Structures are given as C-alpha cells and as structure tokens.
A and B are shown apart, each in its own frame.
Chain A
Amino acid sequence: MKYKVIINACSPSYKARAEEILSFLQEHHLTSGNAAGYNEAIVFYAEEQKAEDIINRLPFKTFKMVRIKHYQPEIILTILQELEIGSPAQIYIFPGDSSGNELAVRFAWRLNGSSLVAVEKITIQDNALVGIKKVYSGNLRGAFIFNYKPYCFSLARGMSRFEADIPVEKKNYTFHDYSSKTISLQPHDYLESPKEEENKLEKSSFIIAAGRGTGNSMEISRLQNIARELGAELGVSRPVVMNAWAPLDQLLGASGAVVSPDICLTLAVSGSPPFYYGIEKSKTIIAVNHDEHAPILKAADIVIIDDYKKVIDTLIKLAADEKGA
C-alpha cells in the first residue's frame, strides 16, 4: 500500500518523532518504498527555521519541505488537503504527539477516510488495515479495522526509535512555500510564545518518578533537589501535576512524557496503567512503595517494600559518601 509520513518540524522534538516513525516502518517492512522514492514524507516547518538543518536531521530519503508561518493546525490541514486531494495515498502516518493525533483525525475527516490515534502496531491483510492501540486507560489493547481510505493514524507516544544517518546527497526533496498562506479560520494569536526546547525527561538516562503517595508540594520540591544531586530528572504521576505540586512538563504517562531511561526509580507510585505507559520502556524499573499490593511492584524489576523517604535518604547519603571518598 502506498503511504506517506507527515512531520511537524515546528515541534522541537520532530527528529525523535521521525525516528520513531522510521522504526515503526522498519518493523512493519514498509521502508523499501521510501528507498525507491515511491513513498514520501511531507514536512511542515516554520519560516524562521533553517530548512537545511531539518533536511540534514531527518532520517528520510524523499520528502516535500513545506514552509509555513508557524505551527497552526488549521493551516497545515488546508495545505495538506490541497496537496493530497488529487491522488491521495492509501495510508498517512502521523507522529506520536499531540499535533500528530490532531492532524490524523482531522485530515482523515477531510478526505473521507478513517483515523485512529496512538497506534502501536498495524497489520495489513488483503488490502485492509488493522490498527492496534491501548484502550480502557491502558488496561487493554484493542484491534480496530479501518473502514475507509485513506487510512490515517498517529503513532502511540514514545515508540522505539531508529537513528539513520542518510547523506544529504541521497535525499530527494522539493520546496513548497506557504508562509503567506492565510485562511478564513484563523483563530490563533499567540500571547506567549511556546518554549523551543525538548522535554528533558525524554533524554534522561536516570529518572526518579514520584507519585501521589509523596503527599504534598513541599515533598515534591525536596525530591526535585534529591534528583538533581543524584544526577536524575524528576518525573511525576498525573495526580501530582493535577494538584499543582509539580509543573506539567514533568508529567510521565499516556498523556505526558514517555521515557526510556536506563533506570527508573519510582517512589510512592501505585502504578496505574496510564502512568506505567510513560515508563514501560525503561531498561530497569526499581519501585519503592510501602504497600505490598501496589500494582507497580509486579511491573518492576527490583522492588523495595518500605517507606520511600527512608530509602531515598539512605541512597543520597551513600551516593554522597561515594563522591566524597
């Protein structure tokens, strides 16, 4: 089946998202098409960005570079519609982030196709596509049949990545300038510009994850310091963020960051499926919880059943002694 990949290069994490898509394509044996120049990636980038940098960093061979003013889903959708409506591909793959989800659903609607959000796997049988994704807050996996072409889906967050270094001379790309494009539907007028940085959690090799059981915002700020001392990043579960004990960019889970550190140390985390989603790619999960029935304990590699405060205080002491020695 002919497919295309959509990349939102306005997002600071576009390279990671593209590598996730590449890995997905390889797992599903879909890469040959791109190599043959048959399939392509459509890349949206903001006018202030350097196109060459993006071309260099993207692990694809054939792509369209579409220049826009800035990220604005309505404009991207209108352009995408204009570009694709004549002879649409059968499959459109969108990245595993919030713009990917939004564009997949809305683009499918505009082309009378079907869409699925946060897909982990697909199977193609007799010209039909089945997408597999988590449902019931991550408690189950569902398999969905796509009914109408084109089939549009976004990947699940934090899928595995494949880094490919493709020399620029092997890449085919064309430029399309839509930076002066306006549409009647133009609601966005930014009061505060978005931050231009990647989520720190995604890059960290050591994450300490704090759950609601830590009790209050003071304790969370204490843990922020402890994490810093140990050279770790602090991530938190949804209740911690919803209580405003920690900022949103520290949220781990299905609706936050999905991480893959070497070590993830969870403190007073119960381990609900939506949270676990955020850390399940960790190489080693160490869980500390006083409640021996907490679900996280079964889903961890190493477990301490005890008061996490005493455990983390001892760890800090041992690490400091080691440094001093």
Chain B
Amino acid sequence: MSLKKEQLIEGLVEILGSEKVITDPEVLKESSVDRFRRFEELHGVYTQPLPAAVVYPQDSSQVAAVLKFASDKGINIVPRTGQTATEGGLETIVENSVVLDGSEMNEIIKIDSYNMQATCQCGTPLQVLEDQLREQGYTTGHSPQSKPLAQLGGLVATRSIGQFSTLYGGIEDMVVGLEAVFPNGEIARIKNVPRRAAGPDIRHVVIGNEGTLCFITEVTVKIFKFMPENNILLGYTLENMKTGFEILRQIMADGYKPSVARLYDREDGAYHFSHFANDKCVLILMAEGPKKIAEATAEAIEEIVGAHTECVKVDTPYIQTWFDNLNWDATDVAAERAEILETKNIGNTTEISADWATINKIYEVCIERIRNEIPDMTLVGGHSSHSYINGTNLYFVHYYNVVDCKPEEEILKYHHPIKKIIVEETIKAGGSMCHHHGVGKHRTPWIKDEYGSSYYILETLKNAFDPEGVMNKGTIFPG
C-alpha cells in the first residue's frame, strides 16, 4: 500500500470529520473479527491484522467519497452494519483495512402502507422497523434469529433469511429496490416497481454481494399485513428425518405455504425439546396469514402429517413456549460468551441446501463423518428450517469441547475440518454449500466448485465493479 496509516486516517477525517473516524485500539481489535473467530476473541487473542480505522458515514455521498478514496489509494474496505456475521465476512485480512460501518445511517425513510412497502437506510435495525410496522398492523415477514441485532444493509448484503421464509421468502423476495454505492463512487438507485422485464434483474448483483462489489445504503422491502391472531402452530414428534423430509416435500409439492416449516433431528432437538420429545425428531409448522388461508393450510398439513403413523401430535403450548424464545439478543450473546469461556464448549453452524432427492443423503453422510472424524465433539445434529418446491435447507449444528489447543488453533483443529466435510459432501451431491449465512471468508476455497462453469459470471462481476480489488478482500472470492 502506498499510503501510510497516518495519511490514510487524515484522508478519512477530511471526508467524515474526526468524530466519525474511530481508531481506539479496543474498537479496532473487536472490529477485526466476527462470530467466526469468537473463541480467539474471548481469550483476547487477535490473529488478524487490525484495521486502521472504523468509520461511520452519515449519508450516501460520504460513503461514495470514502469508497472513491479507498479505490484511488488501494485501501481494503470491510463494509458492515449490525455485526452479526458468522462466516468471517467481517474479518480484516488486509493490513490497514477500513471498516465502513453504516449503522449510523438508520432512518426509516417511509412506510408506505398503501403500496405495501417500506424504505429505510442501511443501519436501520430490523427489530426497530418490525416494531414500527407491527404498531401499524404490518410486518416485514422477515425474522432471522439475529433480528434483535441485525440491520437492513447487512441483511440484504448477506442474502439473509428468516424463520417465516417458507411463506414470505428470503430477503431476495422482499427487496423491491435499493441504493448502493460502488467503489468508483458511483451511487446507483434501483427503482421500486412490482416487476419488470427490462433486462436481467440487477438487484441480484447487489443482494448477497457481502460487501465485495458495493456498499448498500438504502433498501425498500415489501410489507405484509400482520395477523398473528390467525397463527396456528402445529408440532409433531417422529422417528426419522427421512419421514420428516418426505412430509415437508409433500406439503410444498401440494402447494401449501406454511410460514414456519422446521424439522429437527434427535440431537439438535434434544437441546430444545427434550421435555416432550426425548430421543425423537421434531416437526414444527405454522400456518399464518388471512384466517381462511391459515385454517385451510393447517387442515391440509394435519391431513398430510396424519397419513404418517410415526408422527405424534404435540400440545400447542409446548411449541408456543419454544417459539416465544426463538431469537437472540445481546443478553443471549453475552451469556453464550461467558459459557464458552467457562466450559470451553463452543457451537457453530453450517447451512446448506439441496433438492428433495439428495437432502437426506447429505444429512446422513455429514453427521456420520463428523462424528467419526472430528475429536471432542459434544453434539452433531441439524434441522431443516426453510423449504421450497424443489428442495430444502439443512442447518448443521456442531458443538465441541476445545481440548489441548491454544485459542488461535481452535478453528484449524475443529471448525475448518467440520466445514470441509459438510461443504465437500454437499457440493459432491449437487447441493449448495451456503444457504443463508453467506460465503464469508472460510468457504471461499470451494467457491469455484460451488459455481462450476457459472463462476465466469460471478468473477466478471467482481472484475467489473471492483477492478482495484478494494472491496472486502477474501470474502466470496478467494483472497
């Protein structure tokens, strides 16, 4: 890099003012990682190069100026908002990176209940938007576990998905239009229309770019009527994941759209459901929407499940109590950190997707291999939580005790080998290695295998929009 750190900071201060350029060493340390490296971080070990600064732009023109400056001077930019990334996307792997934090751009610009859409700046916490909408009788329909913490920009940048996705879709189905700033300083606005056939859908260049092509400054999402009084929660215990997958397939293939469609295996389920489903798989479905639709959906689900004799219905309060405690807030995060430090037991997740014919095979082989090949495992299990007409996802949950290794060796000894098994088995079987957390920095070794011949399209986007390679180096595209 041609620019010295002092000059770099000077340049940023000129654009943003000194108050918005943070160089406090503690802030820089915690900004060099995300949840992927939290074991190291908990032990005060920071293995990544520290960023030069964390900066807080106040509007799109400041974002543009920072990106232009970075592009001209070859400074690596790591964009972020709510900081709930789990796959290393926020790691600063380049010396003197600048973390571009959009969380102070947090205005809800317009809730347009006639056209059923809401526009907000990138730093708007989803919870804040959702709470405001609910007060008026609406919802975003988006409910990832990180809802209390995550913000709109990051949610769109990582192609996030929520617990009600089987009805409402992933964030890509919700985004109507947006504004993004590219590294050359270009501010591009994609207008809000119901649909158009005017060339490729360029929203998809931006959605899921993980800060490698542009910085999202504004988002418009669809809104829906909020009618929780019509929700019907259904829960069942069953013996086999295979049966569960088959039920989910039938529900989807028959054209029903439950909002929640989750299938837990014994191991993952034991954590949540052992008080009513000891050593059983658990299937949870929720019908919602207008009363008549919800009722018809629930009735059909009961009929479909009823044909499988191994399924036993569970009383609703069991499911409701679980449902009420689904999301993670800051207190849960703090509690988890303390528990990890004390017990040296840490859990991570890997989410993949595949078609109906393949999903159970991937599930079985991955569980078996992790159990046999990885030391000190305390839990290997998984659940399916998002279903589609042609397939579903699998959310592998893997916990282990960190034994006889330094904090900085935890990822190499445990986490990477686990990811490798899941990713390689999934790609081999024809599934996708990333369902909703994004690629981050730890699944890039397989990105070309993931895309095959279509990698050409992806790579060309990077070359076109970020020719200087300053956008979140090492994320999606191998560093």
Report the interface size for chain B: residues with CB under 8 A from the other chain. 11
Which residue of B131, B329, B335, B341 is within 8 Å of A239 (Cβ)? B335
Asked if A215 is at the interface of the complex by the 8 Å CB criterion, the answer is: yes
**Complex Cα–Cα for A225 and B208 (A):** 44
The answer on a CB contact under 8 Å between B330 and A291 is yes
The answer on a CB contact under 8 Å between B331 and A291 is yes
**Complex Cα–Cα for A213 and B341 (A):** 16
The answer on a CB contact under 8 Å between B338 and A243 is yes
**Complex Cα–Cα for A239 and B333 (A):** 13
The answer on a CB contact under 8 Å between A212 and B342 is no
B148 neighbours in A (Cβ, 8 Å): 291
Which residue of B131, B334, B342 is within 8 Å of A213 (Cβ)? B334
**How would residues 241 to 269 of chain A score, 1 for a CB under 8 Å from any chain B CB and 0 otherwise?**
01100000000000000000000000000
The answer on a CB contact under 8 Å between B330 and A239 is no
A292 neighbours in B (Cβ, 8 Å): 131
**Complex Cα–Cα for A243 and B338 (A):** 6
CB distance from A142 to the nearest CB of B (A): 23
**Complex Cα–Cα for A211 and B338 (A):** 13
CB distance from B381 to the nearest CB of A (A): 27
Asked if B291 is at the interface of the complex by the 8 Å CB criterion, the answer is: no
**Complex Cα–Cα for A215 and B335 (A):** 8
The answer on a CB contact under 8 Å between A213 and B338 is no
**How would residues 316 to 349 of chain B score, 1 for a CB under 8 Å from any chain A CB and 0 otherwise?**
0000000000000111001101100110000000
CB distance from B339 to the nearest CB of A (A): 9
The answer on a CB contact under 8 Å between B338 and A212 is yes
**Complex Cα–Cα for A291 and B131 (A):** 12
Asked if A62 is at the interface of the complex by the 8 Å CB criterion, the answer is: no
Closest to A216 in B: B337
The answer on a CB contact under 8 Å between B331 and A243 is no
Closest to A245 in B: B338
A216 neighbours in B (Cβ, 8 Å): 337
B338 neighbours in A (Cβ, 8 Å): 212, 239, 242-243
**Complex Cα–Cα for A215 and B334 (A):** 5
**How would residues 1 to 42 of chain A score, 1 for a CB under 8 Å from any chain B CB and 0 otherwise?**
000000000000000000000000000000000000000000
Asked if A290 is at the interface of the complex by the 8 Å CB criterion, the answer is: yes
CB distance from B148 to the nearest CB of A (A): 7
Asked if A270 is at the interface of the complex by the 8 Å CB criterion, the answer is: yes
Which A198-214 residues sit within 8 Å CB-CB of chain B? Answer: 211-214
Closest to B339 in A: A243
**How would residues 192 to 234 of chain A score, 1 for a CB under 8 Å from any chain B CB and 0 otherwise?**
0000000000000000000111111000000000000000000
The answer on a CB contact under 8 Å between A215 and B329 is no
Closest to A291 in B: B329
**How would residues 332 to 369 of chain B score, 1 for a CB under 8 Å from any chain A CB and 0 otherwise?**
00110110011000000000000000000000000000
**Complex Cα–Cα for A201 and B335 (A):** 25
Query: At the interface, is chain A mostly helix, strand, loop or mixed?
Result: loop
CB distance from A246 to the nearest CB of B (A): 12
**Complex Cα–Cα for A270 and B330 (A):** 11
Given A212-B335, A215-B337, A239-B335, A290 contacting B330 (CB threshold 8 A)? yes
A212 neighbours in B (Cβ, 8 Å): 331, 334-335, 338
**Complex Cα–Cα for A292 and B132 (A):** 13
CB distance from B143 to the nearest CB of A (A): 15
**Complex Cα–Cα for A213 and B335 (A):** 8
Closest to A270 in B: B331
Which A269-310 residues sit within 8 Å CB-CB of chain B? Answer: 270, 290-292
A290 neighbours in B (Cβ, 8 Å): 330
Q: Which of B131, B329, B334 has the most CB of A within 10 A?
A: B334
**Complex Cα–Cα for A242 and B331 (A):** 15
**How would residues 387 to 411 of chain B score, 1 for a CB under 8 Å from any chain A CB and 0 otherwise?**
0000000000000000000000000
**Complex Cα–Cα for A291 and B328 (A):** 12
Closest to B342 in A: A243
**Complex Cα–Cα for A268 and B387 (A):** 38
A215 neighbours in B (Cβ, 8 Å): 334, 337
**Complex Cα–Cα for A209 and B360 (A):** 50
B131 neighbours in A (Cβ, 8 Å): 292
**How would residues 139 to 153 of chain B score, 1 for a CB under 8 Å from any chain A CB and 0 otherwise?**
000000000100000
A270 neighbours in B (Cβ, 8 Å): 331
Closest to A242 in B: B338
B342 neighbours in A (Cβ, 8 Å): 243
CB distance from A255 to the nearest CB of B (A): 18
CB distance from B30 to the nearest CB of A (A): 10
B334 neighbours in A (Cβ, 8 Å): 212-215
Closest to A307 in B: B330
CB distance from A237 to the nearest CB of B (A): 11
B337 neighbours in A (Cβ, 8 Å): 215-216
B331 neighbours in A (Cβ, 8 Å): 211-213, 270, 291
CB distance from A176 to the nearest CB of B (A): 48
A243 neighbours in B (Cβ, 8 Å): 338, 341-342
A211 neighbours in B (Cβ, 8 Å): 331
CB distance from B343 to the nearest CB of A (A): 12
CB distance from B317 to the nearest CB of A (A): 17
CB distance from B426 to the nearest CB of A (A): 35
CB distance from A14 to the nearest CB of B (A): 36
CB distance from B219 to the nearest CB of A (A): 22
Closest to B335 in A: A212
CB distance from B325 to the nearest CB of A (A): 12
CB distance from A241 to the nearest CB of B (A): 11
CB distance from B84 to the nearest CB of A (A): 15
Which B114-133 residues sit within 8 Å CB-CB of chain A? Answer: 131
Closest to B330 in A: A213
A213 neighbours in B (Cβ, 8 Å): 330-331, 334
**Complex Cα–Cα for A243 and B341 (A):** 9
CB distance from A190 to the nearest CB of B (A): 29
**Complex Cα–Cα for A242 and B341 (A):** 12
**How would residues 185 to 208 of chain B score, 1 for a CB under 8 Å from any chain A CB and 0 otherwise?**
000000000000000000000000
B329 neighbours in A (Cβ, 8 Å): 291
**Complex Cα–Cα for A214 and B334 (A):** 8
CB distance from A217 to the nearest CB of B (A): 10
A242 neighbours in B (Cβ, 8 Å): 338
Closest to B329 in A: A291
CB distance from B327 to the nearest CB of A (A): 11
Which B427-441 residues sit within 8 Å CB-CB of chain A? Answer: none
CB distance from A166 to the nearest CB of B (A): 48
CB distance from B22 to the nearest CB of A (A): 13
CB distance from B341 to the nearest CB of A (A): 8
Closest to A214 in B: B334
**Complex Cα–Cα for A291 and B334 (A):** 14
Interface contacts beyond A215-B334, A239-B335, A239-B338: sample of 10 additional A-B pairs, CB < 8 Å, sorted by A: A212-B335, A212-B338, A213-B331, A214-B334, A215-B337, A216-B337, A242-B338, A243-B342, A290-B330, A291-B331
Query: 12 interchain pairs (CB within 8 A)?
Result: A212-B334, A212-B335, A213-B331, A213-B334, A214-B334, A239-B335, A243-B338, A243-B341, A270-B331, A291-B148, A291-B329, A291-B331
B-binding residues in A (CB < 8 A): 211-216, 239, 242-243, 270, 290-292
- Enumerate the 6 nearest inter-chain pairs by beta-carbon distance, A residue then B residue, closest first: A243-B338, A212-B334, A215-B334, A213-B331, A213-B330, A270-B331
